[in-house]
Amino acid sequence: MEIAKRILLSEATIQQRVQELGQEISRDYGDTSICLVCILKGGLMFLTDLAKHIVPPVTFDFIGISSYGHATQSSGVVRITKDLEDSIEGKHVLIVEDIIDSGLTLRYLINNLHDRRPASLRICTLLDKRENRKVDIPVDYVGFSVPNEFLVGYGLDYKEYYRNTPFVFVLKPEYYED
């Protein structure tokens, strides 16, 4: 793949860790039903694979939130592009996120969802880019800690492309730098 600087996480590695996360979540929630709130669009592939490995009953809802636009770094200006369809009041909510970078977007979302009075609110992210964090975010489930590089694949995109790639790779800088 000529656009890849290197493959960071293979499809098999991702699938193995997603299965383990599903088992951890199942153990922690027991028989309690969970509302999985997927952050669109990046979290969709992760949500569908993760849900297959969660034993307690789950419902899905989706929220679109953006602070990137077509940039490679968060602008810090957050906007909801699609809101939840159902109330989360009194429900056990697990946010399913593809990657946590600066944490600014997720902090905004956590505050927004807390105001809706869920019974509990936890976070599951496939990728955690801790070295770029600007705010502290309490993450309950982490797939992988990743370096501060521009990553695409398995839901992550550059200008909406490469989400369907089943592995995560580092995009060569010449493809996104001017």
**Residue 113 CA neighbour count, 13 Å, CB half:** 34
17 contacts 144 by C-beta, under 8 angstroms: yes
* Residue 101 annotated as catalytic: yes
Residue 125: how many CB atoms within 10 A of its CB?
A: 24
- Could you tell me which residues come within 8 angstroms of residue 11 by beta carbon, excluding any fewer than 6 positions away? 154, 166, 167
60 contacts 51 by C-beta, under 8 angstroms: yes
The catalytic position among 49, 101, 128, 157 is: 101
Structure tokens at 152: 């695409």
Task: Give me the active site residues, please.
Answer: 101
